[in-house]
Amino acid sequence: MSEKGTSVVVVGGGVTGLSAAWWLARSGVAVTVVEKGIVGFEASGRNGGGCTHYQSPLFHEEQRLWPQMDELLGYPTEYRRGRIIFQVDPRKERFHEGLSLRLPDGYDWEVLSPDDVRDLVPLAGDNVVSGVRFHFGGHANPQRTAQAYAWAAQDLGATILQHTAVTGIATAGGRVTGIETATGTIGCDALVIAAGPQTGKLLAMLGIDLPMAPARAEMIVTEPLAMMPFTGVDGHGLYGRQTLRGNLAYGGGPHEWLDDVALDAAPPKPSGSVTRNLARRVAELLPKAAHARVIRSWAGVVENTPDGRPVIERLSSPGNVTVATMSSVGFGLSPASGHAIRDLVVDGRCSFADLSKLSLARFDGLRADWREHLNWLPPEPAEARVEASGGRAGTA
Amino acid sequence: MTDVTLPPPDRFSIAGKPAAIDEHVEILVVGAGAAGCAAAIEAANAGASVMLVDENPVSAGLVGMDVPLYYGGRATHAVQTPERLVEKLLEGNPALAEAFEAGVDVKLSTSVWGAWVKGPGLAGLASGLAGLADETRSWFVGFDRLVLATGARDLNFTFAGSDQPGVMGAQAFHALLDRYDAFAGRRLVIVGSGDLALGTAERALARGLDVAALVELRDAPQGSAEAVAALEARGAAFLTGHVPLRAKGGAEGVEALVVCGSGDGDSRREIACDTVVMAVGTVPVIELCDVLGLAREMAPARGGHVPVAAADGATSLGEVFVAGDCAGLGSDAAASGRRAGQAALASLGKSTAGAGVVPDGAAADRPAAMNGLDYQLDFARAMLGTGGADVLACICEDVTRGDLLGVRPPRYLDWRSNALARRDLTTIAADGPVNPDQMKRLTRVCMGACQARRCREQVALMMALGAGVAPETVPLAGYRAPVRPLPLSVIADWQESPEMDAGWNVWFGIATQWIGYEDIGTTREAEQLRAGMPY
């Protein structure tokens, strides 16, 4: 058994934990990230790459940081500023009115006419009903960004332990003293738990209940197409973007709630349940790309808390533990969430935002059957409906 | 302290939105080669409802994209006449007629692009589900049992100039020449000298083509001595101790192959040819196995990554059986197909109509176990040593061997930094075992429209060389549905259920998730929750 004198251990090599490690390392803190698999291989590397989260208290910091991230990290994130959202369903023609209630002051955006949309989005068609353009927000490449955090943290002296699952948490005198792994105990002065769907299980080792439920969500990717002048384009029930390579990468639609995820293995994440439905919507959103070939799909497993909001908090007991679940919206906010975690670990409070409403205490008294109550349950097996479709040539 | 505000019950999950299928069959067989036909006939003769699906003949468009085989731009215009190709296909495969007669529902020119059974993450499936597609539309078919008999595809190694018409795989050559009579070349250089390469040469000579040379990395031909002697007697030249270095070409593609000594890039010879046939090895087609999540093992003597399977083709999933080359190269395909058909029937509680258990002749028939992976690694090492780092490892995504070994971001990012220059495959390996899926993400290797059928194996071999690890330890680069590149308009579900439309949300549809932080716990929160999601 080895006993390493690390100051901070971060459990979870996703973007939240890696960003936290990078921020801590920037402050000169000795930090070790413990990841059960490969950095960014779960939901952190399997998402739409959006960086536009105006509902979050971290929003202003998210917007401040993204334009600087390539330079700060020293590795590419593929961040591009701005976003166009447009609709092709006439029922959603006035969607910007609901949006306007929610966008914070001080951020520039405008309503686009169908012609405006077609000018900016060459793959759009005659079916556009309305759009908006944000001159803030944007998107980045999740996989590249996750690796960038890991490498940048290493460059500042952080240790990244991949393929290392946590088996226990050691405590003494009301404080965490280290984490246990198959290869030994790693001592620490402070612990950060940012392990996505496994965060609840890890906190349970400390006797703390963090309610969360895991679910699987999917995206599809086409072959590369000619670059549009503006790549942060979505709408019509889809999130996603044209990648800087030219692929259309879009997700959305039904998710599947899972019973549980293991602490020491990658969760199964089959894809294909909504591939055809996603393809239809991409073809409707961007009709001039309807010929583009879908070359893969993938799924990621993410967690949600009962209200869908993050928990970002330094616990009162044990007082040297900071916990972060971003409740399925973590990638874009990661530059800011890492900063907040760094502040909580080092200073005890976040220097740039009030996070009090994201405290775990809000779930005190939560009904025990909350998953049943919210209908956050795996589907019951159901026979497929036999429905020979009309468009098929030669159907008997 | 703010009390929790819970969202309304979820109506946006997959629950209550089961897929619509066109039909349900008891046994679905994928692949109408010897193994698949035998399995389908066995099952149909026992009275089971059986569908047999094969993507061949594929459209001219897919031939042009090297799907599913490495056709290398050497198909004639004949591939643009599907009726003729179907005729040729039926002519060359009498078992298909037998399947028709046995009552099998045979679907040609139809691909299976995905298959799923109930399991973790797919709790809502009551029975198996397969995604099918032809040139115009896609649909789902339900099944009780699935027999995968998807065969093998070409193993490829790239070299300078191999991204031009005229470089192809041995299996594609065989398909164009013998199955479709649609091969456009005249004079070949064959790379390799094992039984696959020797068979390729024999077929070419039988059809009156010129075989300029067989190029072998090692110091002696690898295949059977009698076959080598027979080919030599017919004038075929074996160029041992050599590897391809560079293809020269013009508007029509390859015009000559420059080869060099296996260990000496400066010792060169130029051989005039219009086609280079890569015949170093074949690869079990396990795309659907991986999408299904079948347990896999690395079996170098059986072609690399193969599903874990019992002698009767049973896999780690009770609904799925494998037969023929996709279960591991070298078996007696028809016998293994019959066994899988019988096992699938037995698992449904049905008895076999015909004779009893098929003896396992495979072990006796199997060629003396050659570690194909060692042979392939030798090729990879020699071609890297002589051809250098500037040769493309991945044609679709324009990723060179040097880009892969240096873990460089794609060129379109035009990114340079000192920090990045210090990262390469050896630093990645220092942080944990190398994984092709990580290289895919960082370099874009294997991420192109050919779905990595042209590069997957050589990328794994290059990674083994770059990281200094045994090729057996390099994990499989994962396969993803759709395992065939299908246009959005074709794979799209244009007859979606009303439940899917009504229950669609851009993310989870958790209304409380999107309330602005300042508004949480205020009257504005309640207003926004009443107004619903903005889009």
Task: Calculate how close chain A gets to B333, using CA atoms only, in Å.
Answer: 29
Query: A274 and B417: CB-CB below 8 Å?
Result: no
Inspect the interface and report whether the beta carbons of B18 and A385 lie closer than 8 Å. yes
Q: Which residues in chain B are closer than 8 Å to A85, comparing Cβ atoms?
A: 535
Handedness of CA A347, A64, A332, A21 (dihedral sign): negative
Sign (positive or negative) of CA dihedral B220, B224, B225, B229: negative
Residues 6 or more apart in contact with residue B325 via CB below 8 angstroms: B33, B35, B151, B152, B282, B284, B285, B303, B331, B333
Q: Which of B14, B410, B438 sits opposite A38 (nearest CB)?
A: B438
State CA A202 to chain mean position distance: 19
Sign of the C-alpha dihedral, residues B248, B251, B254, B255? negative
Beta carbons of A379 and B14 less than 8 Å apart: yes
Predicted local confidence at residue B16, as pLDDT: 93
Q: Looking at beta carbons, which residues of chain A come within 8 Å of B522?
A: none
Collect all residues of chain A within an 8 Å Cβ-Cβ radius of residue B442.
143-144, 147
Contact B513 A267 (CB under 8 A): no
**A308 Cβ contact list (under 8 Å, min separation 6):** A327, A328, B7, B508, B510, B512, B513, B514
Choose among A328, A332, A330, A348: nearest CA to A340: A348
Task: Residue B167: name the closest of B77, B85, B258 by CA.
Answer: B258
Looking from the CA of A208 toward its CB, the CA atoms found within 13 Å total 20
CB spacing of B505 vs A362 below 8 angstroms: no
pLDDT of residue A5: 46
Q: Residue type at B307?
A: P
* A2 torsion bin: left (phi>0), alpha (psi -120 to 50), beta (else): beta
- A102 and B521 within 8 Å at the Cβ level: the answer is no
- B residues 387..446 contacting A (CB < 8 A): 397, 409-410, 412-413, 415, 417-420, 423, 431-433, 435, 437-438, 441-442, 444
Return the HEC string of A249-314.
EEECCCEEECCCCCCCCCCCCCCCCCHHHHHHHHHHHCHHHCCCEEEEEEEEEEEECCCCCCEEEE
Q: What is the pLDDT of residues A71-120, one digit of tens each?
A: 999 999 999 999 999 999 999 999 999 888 889 999 999 999 999 999 99
* DSSP-based three-state secondary structure for B297: strand
Preceding peptide of A197 cis, ω within 30°: no
Number of helices (H) and strands (E), helices first, in chain A? Answer: 10, 20
Residues of B in contact with A250 (CB under 8 A): none
Among the listed residues A1, A277, A221, A353, the one whose alpha carbon sits nearest the alpha carbon of residue B495: A277
Query: Which residues in chain B touch residue A98, judged by CB atoms under 8 angstroms apart?
Result: 531-535
Q: Do B487 and A291 touch (CB under 8 A)?
A: yes
| A144 Cβ contact partners less than 8 Å away, ≥ 6 residues apart | A75, A76, A77, A78, B409, B441, B442
pLDDT over 90, % of chain B: 91
Give percent of chain B above pLDDT 70. 96
Tell whether B142 is within 8 A of chain A (Cβ): yes
Q: Do B449 and A147 touch (CB under 8 A)?
A: no
Distance CA B141, CA B20 (A): 9
| Residues A211/A291, Cβ–Cβ less than 8 Å | no
CA-to-CA dists, residue B150 to B58, B108, B285, B327, B328, angstroms:
14, 14, 6, 9, 11
Min Cα distance B96 → chain A (Å) is 20
The residue in chain B having the minimum alpha-carbon distance to the alpha carbon of residue A164 is B432
B11 and chain A: CB distance < 8 Å anywhere?
yes
Which pLDDT score, from 0 to 100, does residue A102 have? 87
Q: What is the DSSP letter of B432?
A: S
CB count within 10 Å of CB A369 equals 8
Do the Cβ atoms of A253 and B22 come within 8 Å? no
Per DSSP, the residues of B377-430 read HHHHHHHHHHH-TTSEEETTTTEEHHHHHTTPPPGGG----HHHHT--HHHHHH
State the DSSP code for B515.
Answer: S
User: Is residue B81 within 8 Å of B109, Cβ to Cβ?
Assistant: no
Residues of chain B in contact with residue A385, where contact means CB-CB under 8 angstroms, are 18-21, 497
Bridge partners of B270, per DSSP, are B258
Length of chain B: 535
Please list every residue in chain B whose beta carbon sits closer than 8 Å to the beta carbon of residue A219. none
Q: Is the pLDDT of residue B362 over 90?
A: no
> Cβ of A356: how many Cβ atoms within 10 Å?
14
Q: Inter-chain contact A293–B485, Cβ cutoff 8 Å?
A: yes
- What average pLDDT does the segment B183-202 reach? 97
- The answer to whether residue B427 scores a pLDDT higher than 60 is yes
Contact (CB<8Å) B435/A38? yes
Smallest CA–CA distance from B11 into chain A, residue:
A375
Question: In chain A, whose CA is at the least distance from the CA of B429?
Answer: A162
pLDDT digits (tens, 9 = 90+) for B32-83: 999 999 999 999 999 999 999 999 999 999 999 999 999 999 999 999 998 9
Q: Give the pair of three-digit tokens for residue A95.
A: 């969607």
Per-residue exposure over B442-456, b if at least 16 CB sit within 10 Å of its own CB, e if not: bbbbbbbbbbbbbbb
Contact A163 B508 (CB under 8 A): no
CB B283 within 8 A of CB B152: yes
pLDDT of residue B534: 66
pLDDT of B359 reads 58
**Mean pLDDT across chain A:** 94
User: Are A359 and B10 inside 8 Å of each other by CB?
Assistant: no
Whether residue B221 has pLDDT greater than 60: yes
| CA dist., res. B433 & res. B425, Å (int) | 10
pLDDT at B533: 72
Mean pLDDT of A340-355: 98
Find the closest chain A residue to B515 by CA distance. Answer: A55
Instruction: Tell me the nearest-neighbour CA distance from B90 into chain A, angstroms.
Output: 20
Question: pLDDT, tens digit, for every residue of A27-65?
Answer: 999 999 999 999 999 999 999 999 999 999 999 999 999
Of B22, B138, B451, the CB nearest to A295: B451
Contact B4 A235 (CB under 8 A): no
Residues of B in contact with A390 (CB under 8 A): 495
User: A180-207 pLDDT, tens per residue?
Assistant: 999 999 999 999 999 999 999 999 999 9
Asked if A378's CB is within 8 angstroms of B124's CB, the reply is yes
Q: B357 falls in which pLDDT band (50, 70, 90)?
A: low
| pLDDT band, residue A390 (cuts 50/70/90) | very low
Query: Chain B residues with CB inside 8 Å of A257's CB?
Result: 10, 13, 15
CB contact under 8 A, B488 and A292: yes
pLDDT at residue B156 tops 70: yes
Indicate the range of B298-312, B364-378, B471-485 predicted with least confidence. Answer: B364-378
CB nearest B516 (choices: A55, A269, A378) = A55
Q: In chain A, which residues have their Cβ closer than 8 Å to the Cβ of B431?
A: 160, 162
| Backbone torsions φ then ψ of A7, nearest 5 degrees | -80, -55
Average pLDDT of chain B?
94
B513 DSSP 8-state letter? G
Q: Do B420 and A74 touch (CB under 8 A)?
A: yes
* pLDDT tens track for A283-317: 999 999 999 999 999 999 999 999 999 999 999 99
pLDDT of residue B365: 46
The pLDDT-based confidence of A392 (bands split at 50, 70, 90) is very low
Token pair listed for B354: 């015909």
Q: Which residues from B are below 8 Å from A308, CB to CB? A: 7, 508, 510, 512-514
Query: Which of A295, A313, A354, A395 best tests the B interface by mutation, with the highest count of B CBs <10 A?
Result: A295
Region label for B297, one of left (φ > 0), alpha (ψ between -120 and 50) or beta (otherwise): beta
Contacts of A137 (CB under 8 A, 6+ apart): A50, A51, A52, A54, A63, A81, A82, A83, A232
Our CA angle for B397, B400, B401, nearest 5°, is 130
Least confident piece of the model among B183-187, B190-194, B351-355: B351-355
- pLDDT of res. B369: 47
Look at residue B500 and give its three-state secondary structure: helix
Q: At what angle do helices A142-155 and A334-347 cross, to 10 degrees?
A: 30
Q: Three-state SS for B467?
A: helix
A380 Cα to chain B: minimum distance (Å): 5
- Within 10 Å of residue A14's Cβ, how many Cβ atoms? 27
**A275 with B482: Cβ contact below 8 A:** yes
Closest by Cα among B379, B512, B481, B522 to B132: B481
In terms of Cβ atoms closer than 10 Å to its own Cβ (0-12, 13-18, 19+), residue B83 is exposed
Shortest distance, CA B254 to any CA of chain A (angstroms) = 27
Find, in chain B, the residue whose alpha carbon is nearest to that of A223. Answer: B449
Question: Do B513 and A92 make contact, defined as CB atoms within 8 angstroms?
Answer: no
Q: Which of A307, A356, A363, A366 to mutate to test the interface with B (most CBs of B within 10 A)?
A: A307
B216: β partners: B240
ipTM over 0.85: yes
Q: How far is Cα B279 from Cα A27, in angstroms, rounded to an integer?
A: 57
Mutation for testing the B interface, residue in A88, A245, A293, A337 having most B CBs under 10 Å: A293
Structure tokens at B311: 């002698």
CA nearest A295 in B: which residue?
A: B485
pLDDT (average), residues B246-269: 96
So what's the pLDDT on residue B2?
A: 60
Cβ atoms of B14 and B124 closer than 8 Å:
yes
Taking only the tens place, the pLDDT of each residue in A238-282 is 999 999 999 999 999 999 999 999 998 999 999 999 999 999 999
Examine residue A142 and say whether the peptide bond preceding it is cis (omega within 30 degrees of 0). no
Which phi and psi (to 5°) does residue A50 adopt?
A: -70, 145
Residues of B in contact with A272 (CB under 8 A): 114, 116, 131, 291, 481
Contacts of A393 in chain B (CB under 8 A): 136
Return the amino acid letter for B226.
Answer: E
Sheet holding A233-234, edge to edge: A109-112, A130-139, A80-87, A233-234
* pTM, to two decimals: 0.96
Q: How many CB pairs under 8 A join A and B?
A: 333
